[in-house]
Structure 1
Amino acid sequence: MTQTLYVISCAAPPARHVTTGIRAAQARGWDVALVLTPAAHRWSVEEAAGETELDQLRELTGHPVRHTYKLPSQSDVLPSPDALLVAPATLNTTTKWAAGHADTLALGLITEALGLPLPVVALPYINAAQAQHPALAPAVATLRKAGVRYLLGDGQEPDGFTPHPPKNGRVEAYPWGFALDVLDELTGRPLQADSDA
């Protein structure tokens, strides 16, 4: 039976290449549903000068791309998740998530997930200056204590994402494959050989 992975993408450069992560997850047998933060959704619409990019993402996943809460009278258009991958996770989303904010659909899903028996992995994309912000370390600690595998390269996750100098990020090196390896480990799925995706 196919399991559903929610990819929650925030407004950081890897979100412009989310198809890389989606295809890598699909190659491992995941049914992927994409949820964007409002800022990431705006990038997808405005950078593509219309709905073209969202149409392509919808076609790739086979699901609508969500970015806002539905009305109470509306039915769910996505299958229930079996796991969540927050990638890229920004400083903004990380700190709001740890503080319990749920003012966007993306935040609502991941804050609620902390109370559900679901594996949750977060792969950040932050620069070295942002990594020095005093709110980051306690937020990461809070999320890890709540069960999130927060893949920031530090003493707890040495193979995780290493913050880059400001304006010197390498989107092509963003470790989608590593995050999927961690999800495979958490869900008991067989590890794949494409960990450099």
Structure 2
Amino acid sequence: MTQRTLYLIACAAPPARHLTTPIRAAQARGWDVCLILTPSAHRWATEDPEGNIDELRELTGHVVRHDYKLPSQPDALPAPDALLVAPLTSNTLNKWAGGISDTLALGLITEGIGLGLPIVALPHWNDAQGRHPAAARSVAELRAAGVTLLLGDGDEPGFIPHKPRQGDVRAYPWEIALDALPTP
């Protein structure tokens, strides 16, 4: 049996400082995990004194990508069978819904919709950001496009936005996102 590949695409939000948690959990479920970071998340992993880019590379067994390769370069990662976008910031949400692909992370998830890949997105933003009119429109647009966007609202499981500067990163529901993925 061939192992299926999951692209974990992480934006710069506090849960991105704990990516070993979902990587290990996805690997335990049978996924070959490849990590793609937004440019800001990559900066956190490489420049912050608490960054752990080497650990992430070693844990996945793959390079950690954050920018487009040159056209002449071969693909460094196997093709994905599914995408998990977590944590998803409001910035990336709104760009993604608008079809903007100015970073590798956005390019992959924008293209993923057109390719019909299973895509699960688990947001992380505060309730003030969530009240911006663009957020609701973008959530609706992506859900209509087939993205499983796990934004909890009392009736639906998923991330429930917190008050500004009052989030609990330990409560980020990685397991809900992993449960929403197809079985490898």
TM-score (norm 2): 0.96
Partner of 1:182: 180
Aligned residues between the structures:
183
Return structure 1 stretches of 4+ with deviation > 4 angstroms.
none
Letter in 1 for 2:180: V
C-alpha distance in 1, partners of 2:57/2:49?
A: 14
- Matched residue, 1:29: 30
Residues of 2 paired with 1:165 and 1:125: CA distance? 12
Structure 1 residues 143-171: Cα deviation after superposition (integer angstroms, max 9, x where no partner): 0000000000127x611110011101111
Matched, 1:125 2:124: yes
Output the amino acid matched with 1:99: G
Q: CA deviation at 1:117?
A: 2.4
Structure 2: state its 5+ residue gaps: none
C-alpha distance in 2 between matches for 1:87 and 1:13: 11
Q: What amino acid sits opposite 1:109 in the alignment?
A: L
* Secondary structure at 1:56 match in 2: helix
3-state SS in 1 of match to 2:19 = helix
Cα distance in 1 for partners of 2:114, 2:49 equals: 36
State how far apart, in whole Å, the 1-side matches of 2:143 and 2:44 are.
29
Q: Which letter does structure 2 place at the counterpart of 1:90?
A: T
Identity within the alignment, %: 67
Mapped partners of 2:22, 2:48: distance in 1: 19
RMSD over aligned Cα, in angstroms?
1.3
Corresponding residue number in structure 2 for 1:169: 167
Match of 2:29, as an amino acid?
A: R
Q: How does 1:13-162 map to 2 (within 5 A)?
A: 13-48=14-49, 53-154=52-153, 158-162=156-160
Deviation of the 1:25 alpha carbon: 0.5
Q: Deviations over 1:28-60 (max 9, x none)?
A: 0100000000000011111137xx721111100
Structure 1 spans left out of the alignment, 5+ residues: 191-197
Equivalent-residue separation in structure 2 for 1:47 and 1:20 (angstroms): 19
